[in-house]
Structure formats: C-alpha cells, structure tokens
Structure 1
Amino acid sequence: MSSIKLFQVTFDCAQPERVGRFWCEVLGYVAPPPKGFDTWDAYEREQPPEERGSWFACVDPSQGGPRLYFQRVPEGKAAKNRVHLDVRVGTGLVGEERLAVLEAECTRLVALGAVRVQLLYDGVDSCISMQDIEGNEFCVD
C-alpha cells in the first residue's frame, strides 16, 4: 500500500504576498514568517533586492489543508487554469438554501477583490465561478 504524500498548491503570480494574503482571507489560513524571522518584513529586509517579494506561503492553522505557495513569475496569466480550487461552503445543502450560502460567500469574496464570473444553477445544485485578484479561476461550491 502506498503512503499519502504531503503536497502544497503553488500559484504563479506577479505579486506573491498580495495574492497570498487574499487567499489567507478566503480560507482562514495564516502566514507565519519564514523560520528564524519574527515577521515577513524582517525576512524581506535580509534578502538581496532582486529576491525581495519573490515568494509567499500560508498554511491551514488546523493543519488539515495543504500549504499554499505563491511564486513570482515574469509572465502574466495567458489562459484558463487547468486546475482550480473549490471553496466548499455549501456542502450538504441543496436548492435555495445552498444558493443563499454561496451568494453570501461570493459577496464576501468580492469585497476582498475577487471577481464573480458566472452562477451555475440547475434548481438543485449550484456553484459560482470566480477569479482571484490576479485572475486565477476558482469556484464557490
């Protein structure tokens, strides 16, 4: 039997800390500074100028979810993501009750800078496709 491997989800982005802090707010994650530093600012001050702001990471404080890693890349987003996150807020709910929970979460995320793309609703099941602050697709499900 194979063992379960730990994994992280990596985002390519232009502004790692900005995108990372957005996802901290979305998911309730925290962003402890790198080992040996009291703050991210203290860490950044110790880096060569060309390395400052090149990455950021956050974790699930309950340790149940994967680490999220954000790395600066020179190119912009060019196409639809082949993989995306589903923010699961309506698990077990159906119909209008589910839709109301999804809409409330969508409103909260739009206030953080997310963009609502499309509601998918068939009268029973629903999800809302959205984009984060750099255009990465995700769903409120």
Structure 2
Amino acid sequence: MTSIKKFQVTFDCAEPERVARFWCEVLGYVAPSPPEGFATWADYNDSLPPEQRDAWFACADPSGVGPRLYFQRVPEGKIAKNRLHLDVRVATGLVGEERLAVIEAECARLVALGAVRGKLLLADGVNESCLLMQDVEGNEFCLD
C-alpha cells in the first residue's frame, strides 16, 4: 500500500482570487506566476470565454512544505458551518497571557485584511486558548 505524502486543500468560494490572496497573506504563501505566454493573471483571464474567467486561483507554500491551496468558484453561497477548517498555528508552545497576546496580535492583522473575529475559547486545562475566525467569504478557521 502506498502512502500519500502530498495533498491540496480546496475551497469552494465566490471570488477565488480574492480568497486566495487573503490566505497568501495569512500563511505567507505565494500565488503562482501567470500561465506561460501571459504577463498577468488579468491577461490570462481576458483570454478565456466569459464563463471560465476568474473560475479558480491557487497559492502555495514557497518552501514547498505546506499543502497547495486551490480556490474554485461555485454558484452557491456558504450555507452552514464548515465541516473542515484550518487551524493557523501562531502561538504553538505558548501558554497563558503570552499565548493570548500573540493570538490577539495576529487577529488584529487578519481583521485588517478582511477577516471576521469570532469567539475566544480560553484554556480549559485540556486545550489551550484559541480564537475562532472567518475569512473574507465566511469560511471558519482558528488561530491557535
């Protein structure tokens, strides 16, 4: 049996490039270069039939370690809570007030990019504190 080593995380969304660029800022990921023969992504999109324009976008970890993120346009909006979400690990190894300060600082940065702050879950003796958030299209994620 073969073990899978690489995977991609796919987001359904209304505006793939907007959501992808948000996640590039969150994770330090980079957008790929436009396809060969095109100076910009806008040039590439302009070459497509209208129904295919802005249908997808992707970004990747520049170190090649993290998974590629792929964003695809879908016609329906988000209706319910995500069944899967990303935990953005900004305070790994930190506890107490130091952990909360790092989480709050990252929250402020992401809110300025269009994220929405959710509920702060304080440490309970089993789990450390984390902060529930939403990206620019309402997809849930946690800062922990």
**Worse overlay, 119-128 or 90-99:** 119-128
Cα deviation, 1:19-43, whole Å, max 9, x if unaligned, reads: 1111111111100134313321121
Contact 2:107 2:117 in 1 (8 A): yes
Greater CA deviation, 37-46 or 64-73? 37-46
Match of 1:3 in 2: 3
SS in 2 for 1:61: coil
Offset, 1:123: 6.5
Per the alignment, residue 73 of structure 2 pairs with: 72
Does 2:46 match 1:45?
A: yes
Q: Distance in 2 between matches of 1:122 and 1:59?
A: 32
Maintained 8 Å contact 1:12/1:71 = yes
Query: 2:35·2:44 contact (CA, 8 Å) conserved in 1?
Result: no
1:29 counterpart = 2:29:
yes
For these two proteins, the number of residue pairs brought into alignment is 141
Aligned to 2:20: 20
Counting only pairs closer than 5 Å after superposition, residues 57-96 of structure 1 correspond to structure 2 as: 57-96=58-97
Work out which of the residue numbers 123, 130, 140 in structure 2 matches 1:127: 130
Name the counterpart of 2:139: 136
Distance 2:106 2:124 in 1: 19
In structure 1, C-alpha distance between the alignment counterparts of 2:5 and 2:90, rounded to whole Å: 26
Distance 1:133 1:40 in 2: 21
**Structure 2 partner of 1:109:** 110
In 1, the alpha carbon distance for the partners of 2:114 and 2:108 equals: 10
- In 2, the alpha carbon distance for the partners of 1:108 and 1:39 equals 28
Q: Secondary structure at the match of 1:68?
A: strand
Counterpart secondary structure, 1:139? strand
Name the CA distance, whole Å, in 2 between partners of 1:106 and 1:6: 29
Structure 2 spans left out of the alignment, 5+ residues:
none
RMSD (CA atoms)? 1.4
1:115, 1:130 within 8 Å by CA — same for their partners in 2? yes
TM-score (norm 1): 0.94
Structure 1 residues not aligned, in runs of 5+: none
